[in-house]
Amino acid sequence: MNNQSKLDNVDGVVLTNLKNSKVSKSVSLNKKKLKDIGLFALFVGPVLLAFIIIVLIPFFTGIYYAFTDWNGVTGAIKWVGLDNFKYLFTQDKQFQSSFILTTKYTVVAIILTNAIGFGLAMLVTQTFKTRNILRTVFFMPNLIGGLLLGFIWQFIFVKGFASIGQLTGIPLFNLAWLGDASTAFWGIVIVSVWQGAGYIMIIYIAALQNVPQELIEAAKIDGANRWQILRHITMPMVAPAVTICLFLTTASSFKVFDANLSLTGGGPFKSTEMLALNIYTEAFVNNRYGVGEAKALIFFIVVAAITIIQVTISKKKEVES
């Protein structure tokens, strides 16, 4: 009996120790989880809070105001349902023309910005001494603020081109660049492409530098010319960069505002009023905040749909290539 009681005591001690070890392990795991949660909250919490306050809350309140007749000033808000949207698609001809103009501008800006950006990237990835200086020069316009850049180019179009035209007699410089609807549109395109091509160039440079030189050398040995190398080797290898650049240029072109405001202000006679400027004018100049929010909601849905389709198609082409 004495031996049996001793064994029972030993078993009891062992079980107690096992329970204590399990408890201590669970406590340590809980402390680790709490520590991880605390670190996560410390680093992500402020950003998440700022995102909720600056982005999410205005976004959802804007959706609510799109169905009201609020003027953006008084506290009187009346629910009007889909009346704002019916007005946009049936009576607001300026919104429709701005939408068409923005789509036209976006197509032109995407093509030119990517083509020029890729061309500049091909140029500055060649082996010559001034390539680093050229990279800096081509990228510098992107560092200038949009409004400031627009006012600088406004002076160039109005004063600079007029002076050059008087000295040289070249008809191109004697055009009323910002006073005529057709030339004012191309003036906005020139400024936007000049500013954005340098940023797109940086992305293409990173992609071109990752193209294996062994493939290019092997293609040259096999007798491939520059066009064949560009088409069958370089372009498939930089396809992910093309997807990114198309996404960036699509989003930025649809949302063009500062260049439009500073160069033409939508003139002459609202012939160059892009969609973002039209929304701004409706909400903050005409004090029709509900209608402006309805335009912004439609704008958001269209841009989101187009960018999702563009990324999906580009990704499929990446896989195929």
Domain ranges across the chain = 1-65, 85-320
Predicted pLDDT of residue 154? 92
| Separation in Å, CA 52 to CA 47, 57, 58, 126, 302 | 9, 6, 9, 46, 23
pLDDT band for position 230 (50/70/90)?
Answer: confident
Residue 309: half-sphere exposure toward Cβ, Cα within 13 Å: 7
Residue 20 clears pLDDT 50, i.e. is over it = yes
Residue-wise pLDDT for 45-70, tens only, equals 888 899 999 999 999 999 999 999 99
| Separation in Å, CA 75 to CA 78, 81, 119, 288 | 10, 18, 54, 13
pLDDT band for position 6 (50/70/90)?
Answer: very low
Residue-wise pLDDT for 245-297, tens only, equals 999 999 899 999 999 999 998 988 889 999 999 999 999 999 999 999 999 99
Predicted pLDDT of residue 26? 61
List residues bridging with 79 in a β-sheet. 68
For the question of whether the overall pTM of this predicted structure is more than 0.75, the answer is yes
Dist. CA 201–CA 13, nearest whole Å? 72
Q: Does the structural domain 85-320 have CATH classification 3.40.50.2000?
A: no
Residue-wise pLDDT for 83-100, tens only, equals 999 999 999 999 999 999
List residues bridging with 68 in a β-sheet. 79
Q: Percentage of the chain with pLDDT > 90?
A: 44
